[in-house]
Structure 1
């Protein structure tokens, strides 16, 4: 096994590593895409319900922001697929994987914002209570812990100085 192979825990070339990382990334994106597509599809129908026109202006604004966030999230999470298709066969997979990973991270941040915005709208309509922002804040904190806090903690705790990210 080469020194590089020991450092990464695998004996693989840069291209093999890029292939493996691409497969893992696409699996992760599939999970997020499914949720985004369902949420975004639902959001697109809300404006056509009669109750929408009776919503207060603030709730209509929250809805518009939520739809825009959902559209941006969809774009970021579908971006890696388009990137792969357009650069396939051009011998740039390691760079494409890094770019796709960044797009996916942006998509996760946008998904967090979309879900927080959608939750805010739904709870405002359903509850009409002043503590709705506190509930939404609690859920956002939970998302931050699950999506970013725990992974960063695990990465820091279980990564040796010679491991690559």
Structure 2
């Protein structure tokens, strides 16, 4: 199956024709035989080459979805992401809650106890944010605010993932402080958190920025063509 044309991945079933402005390729997608203008690899132009189209318009044309159906699908996809994240934060929180009742907890230093409390609070906060989409949706049920629910739930999940990352760092630092030297524990914990942050936030953000710039450049070329 060919990669979507808007993902910027070259495919073998797309036909590139000449013409147009320098650096602009005319790409025909055989899936729906709609001609679009794109930049270096692809952009979300409408069917008439007039620049990026809205999400609702694109989903209506490609997926045959109405705006309401698109919101339902987005919320269902978000819940799948929440279930994946909740499994991690629940496991972390369960381990932290049980730690206080182990014999080894009594020999922890004051700094380690403080670190434990910080990690425990962060885990609880993360769990609360990842659970928040469910009560938020239930409180606004049948109020015709699905778009607001989807937007708010997405923000809840992003905040919950950030809190979970901090909780993981605190838990890892606590365990390493018992096993190795304090400076090494801080260094390893910081490196691990940076590794997670890179894949959770940095890489997707870079991809998003690149796509936004690519669409902006295509829009600018389209405007010059009109002028």
Q: TM-score, normalised by structure 1?
A: 0.90
Offset at 1:150? 0.7
Q: Which of 112, 122, 125 is the equivalent residue of 2:175?
A: 122
Provide Cα deviations, 1:13-41, integer angstroms capped at 9, x if missing partner.
33222111101111111110000001101
* Alpha-carbon distance in structure 1 between the residues aligned to 2:163 and 2:174: 16
Equivalent residues in 2 for 1:16-165 (5 A)?
16-159=69-212, 160-161=215-216
- Which one has a larger percent strand, Structure 1 or Structure 2? 2
* Alpha-carbon distance in structure 1 between the residues aligned to 2:85 and 2:186: 25
Please list every run of 5 or more consecutive structure 1 residues that lacks an aligned counterpart in the other structure.
none
Query: Does the CA-based 8 Å contact 1:18-1:94 persist in structure 2?
Result: yes
Provide Cα deviations, 1:115-139, integer angstroms capped at 9, x if missing partner.
1111110111122342211111111
Offset at 1:6? 5.0
- Which one has a larger percent helix, Structure 1 or Structure 2? 1
Please give the root-mean-square deviation of Cα atoms over the aligned residues, in Å.
2.1
Offset at 1:88? 1.9
1:10 match: 59
Moved over 3 A (4+): 3-7
Give 1 or 2 for the bigger CA radius of gyration. 2
Q: Which has the higher contact order (CA 8 A, sep 6+)?
A: 1
